Structures are given as C-alpha cells and as structure tokens.
Amino acid sequence: MAQAAAGSRNRELSLLILGLVVGGAALALVALARDDGEAAVAAPFITVLAIAYLAAHFVVRRVAPRANPLILPLAGIVNGLGISAIFRLSEYQAYQDTASAQLTWTLVGIGCFVGTLLLVRDARQLTRYKYIFGFAGVGLMLLPLAPGIGREINGAQLWVDLGFITFQPGELAKICLVVFFAGYLAERKELLSIASRRVLGMHLPDLKHFGPLLVMWGLSLTVMFYLKDLGSSLLFFSIFIVMLYIATARFVYVAAGIGLFAIGSYIGYQTFVHVQDRVQVWLDVFDPRYVTDEGFQLAQSLFALSSGGLFGTGFGQGRPDLIPAAHTDFLFSVLGQELGLMGAGAIVLCFLLMVGQGFRIAITQRDDFGQLLAAGLTTILGIQTFIILAGVTRLLPLTGITLPFMSYGGSSLLSNFILIALLVRLSHQESTQRPPAHTAEILIGGRT
C-alpha cells in the first residue's frame, strides 16, 4: 500500500511540474512580448506560484497520500494559464492591478485547499452537519439582499460589500448546498426512488416525493427574481437535479425539473429587461441595434476567437483589450485568440479530464453520501464550465458565471480550491478504506 501511495504521489508531482512549466512558459512569453519595462515582474510570479503549488503537493503527500494524482495538476495548469492571460491584460490601464490581485487570491485559494485537507480528515463526517450546511448555504445565497451591504453589478445583485472586502457569497453557498443535498438524498434515496403508481406506461413516485424538487425550484426562482441572475439560478437548480437523478435513477425527476425551470425562465424573461436583452443579443448579436451596444462584448469575443485561427496569434500578439471586461467572463476568448483552436481545445480537454476524474472518484465511493458529494462537487465544475464556455461562444445566452480557476475573482478561486480539496480527500478515503483480501475472508467466515 505504501509503495502504491508513493507511486501515485510521484505521478502527481511529475504532472504538477509539467503544469507549472506550461503556466510558467506562458507567463514568460507574455513578459517577453511586453516592452513596458514590467517583464521582470513575471519571474517572481512564476517563482511564487511554483512554490505554492509544490507546497500544496507535499501537504497532499503527507495527509492524503493515496489521493487521485490528476486533480491538483489539472487545476494548476488551467490556473497558470488564467494568470498568464490576466498578466497579459495588465499592460492595459483598465486591468493594471488585476494580475497581482489574481496571484494573491490564488495563494489564498491554495491556502484554503491545504486548510480543507488538514481540517476535513473524514469527509463522511460532514453529513452530521448537513442541516447546518443547508442553512448556511441558503443564508450565503441570499446575503446580497441584506440592506446596506448588498451590491448590484451589471444588473445582478450577487455581491456583498463589507467596506474592506467585496465578495460573492454564492460561490461558497454552492459548496454548502451540495453537502446538504448529499446528506439529505443519501438518507432518503430509497423513499424517493419508490414508484407507487403507473401513468401512461411510466412508473411515477407519489406526488409528495416531488416536494424537495419544488422547494429547490422556489429557491432558484428566488435567486432569479431577487438576485436577478439567471446563471446562478440555473447552476443551483441543475446541481440538485443531477444529484437527485444520481440518487434515485428516476428520469421523471429530471423531466419535471426541466419543465419547472422552463416555466421559471419564461417568467424571468417576461419580467426582466436585462434578460430580454441578453436573449435578443444571443439570437442576433450582429444586428446593428445590438452590435455596438449590448452585443458589443459578445461580438468582440467571437471576433477574437475567429482571428485566433488554428494556432493563435501568439502570447502578446492579440488585442484582448477590445473585449470589455475580458478578465472575468471572457478570459477564454483572450486565450482562444492568442492560443488558437488548438490551445482552446487543450483548455477544454483539461476541464473534461477534471470532470471525468471527479465522477471517477464518485463511482468508487463505498457509501451513498460520498458518492453524492463527489458527484455534486464535480457537477459544479462541469455545469459552471459549460455555461460560461457556451456563453462566450454563443451557444447559450451570456450569464455572469466565472470560468473555474481562470477568471478573475477571489470568491470563485477560494470556493474552487475548497471544492477540489474535498475531492482529493474523498479519493484518498476510498483508497484507504478498501479492505484487504484476508479481512474480507474473515468477515465472510463469520469470525472476528
């Protein structure tokens, strides 16, 4: 067992070094392309980032030696490329301080990763506090509605301003809610799975079992109508639907959830002007009425992606400053222009591998709570990535959701590092709790 653990950690170290080389090379290329005398700043960036990730690796080696070896390196690759893209933007006045701030938040995020691993030694114990996590999640989600501290930015009221710091509590709320969902569904999966009636050839549960679905629908509508954010509403409701389906294997819940969300989305579209604008921009972004106004950001994103071609313009050779707020929602477009289709495809592949490893961790868990928790955390990464990438490529209307580990923002970085720390802990537990062959034989034989 010790030899297998050492081999797993050595693979993680090798892959992490490869990821740091990719991120460091990207930062170096951006620095070489600049002629403003700030190129020397890249060296400390690379050094600090490498030290932080290597320290995180050695903590994993110490406290979770049998954990999945791909999660941390994949996060390091996309995070390093994100920092290099933000450093690329920092040469423009509007983004001058973003690179140092993003590096600082990355270091804090890695600290949260380490702290979570040290604090949560057994992820199964979180189920004992599921209702506390549930109330905390709802409270954090609705905190921006509190008078005096809630802030509305770009039409959505997702921010809390405490004077010394501004953050999005919804980023932490999603992790708290997933812990609650996992604990709740693990307790009631058999009850929710029972199909007691047959309608039109389909086996359906009792109507009362649709109660949790209706509660989550109401909560998602609250997010949509009061926080004015369709993206977060879709994310929270989708996570619950996926976890409910995993727990019960009843597609009727998925169908009902899709129908309920479609109703809510239609009501939201009819109610909010900014939602109507986003849908109209999505449908016809190059219409003269939109392309120079509401659709300018999306149009510039599409122009940037198309100008990147197959291999990109090269770091420092594009014009990411032409995309408004490129460091948040549209960082993928910046990288797509300068790395081209091949580079953008590689980034998408990294996210796909991360999601795949997360679900692999989920299916290897021996208890219902562990399976649902790992699946829920992975669903956050997968759906969030899909929504933002679909938005910048015009597959879906734009939302304010950030690209995990890449987009500028401290709240998102901190929550995502906590998320992968829980996945790392779950993967380690599964490996260490697998009983040896002789133990299984003793148990079968009825001896202790």
Residue with tokens 């389909």: 202
Of the pLDDT bands very low, low, confident and very high (cuts 50, 70, 90), residue 260 is: confident
Of the pLDDT bands very low, low, confident and very high (cuts 50, 70, 90), residue 203 is: low
Give 284 or 152, the one with higher predicted confidence: 284
Class of residue 373 by CB neighbours under 10 A (exposed 0-12, middle 13-18, buried 19+): buried
Please compute the mean of the pLDDT values over residues 122-137 and round it to a whole number: 90
Q: Per-residue pLDDT tens for 89-113?
A: 887 766 777 888 899 999 999 999 9
Q: Give the number of other Cβ atoms within 10 Å of residue 5's Cβ.
A: 17
CA distance 95 to 38: 14
Of the pLDDT bands very low, low, confident and very high (cuts 50, 70, 90), residue 434 is: low
Q: Per-residue pLDDT tens for 208-255?
A: 667 778 888 888 888 777 777 777 788 888 888 999 889 888 888 888
Of the pLDDT bands very low, low, confident and very high (cuts 50, 70, 90), residue 438 is: very low
Residues 6+ apart with CB under 8 A from 369: 124, 126, 127, 182, 183, 186
Q: How high is the pLDDT of residue 330? A: 87
Helices and strands of the chain, counted as H and E runs? 15, 5
Q: Per-residue pLDDT tens for 49-64?
A: 999 999 999 999 999 9
Q: How high is the pLDDT of residue 379? A: 94
Q: How high is the pLDDT of residue 78? A: 95
Query: Which span out of 18-22, 33-37, 191-195 was modeled with the highest average pLDDT?
Result: 18-22
Residue with tokens 């990821």: 19
Q: Per-residue pLDDT tens for 267-292?
A: 878 877 777 887 888 888 888 888 88
Q: How high is the pLDDT of residue 206? A: 64
Evaluate the CA torsion angle 411, 415, 420, 424 in order and state its sign. Answer: positive
Structural contact between residues 127 and 183, judged by C-beta atoms closer than 8 angstroms: yes
CA distance 168 to 374: 23
Please compute the mean of the pLDDT values over residues 181-204 and round it to a whole number: 74
Worst-scoring range by mean pLDDT, 31-40, 218-227, 419-428? Answer: 31-40
CA end-to-end span of the chain, whole Å? Answer: 23
Give 34 or 56, the one with higher predicted confidence: 56
Alpha helix locations (H) across 309-436?
331-363, 368-392, 410-432
What is the token pair recorded at 342?
Answer: 């091949």
Please compute the mean of the pLDDT values over residues 342-352 and round it to a whole number: 94
Strands 150-153 and 156-161, bridge-based pairing: antiparallel
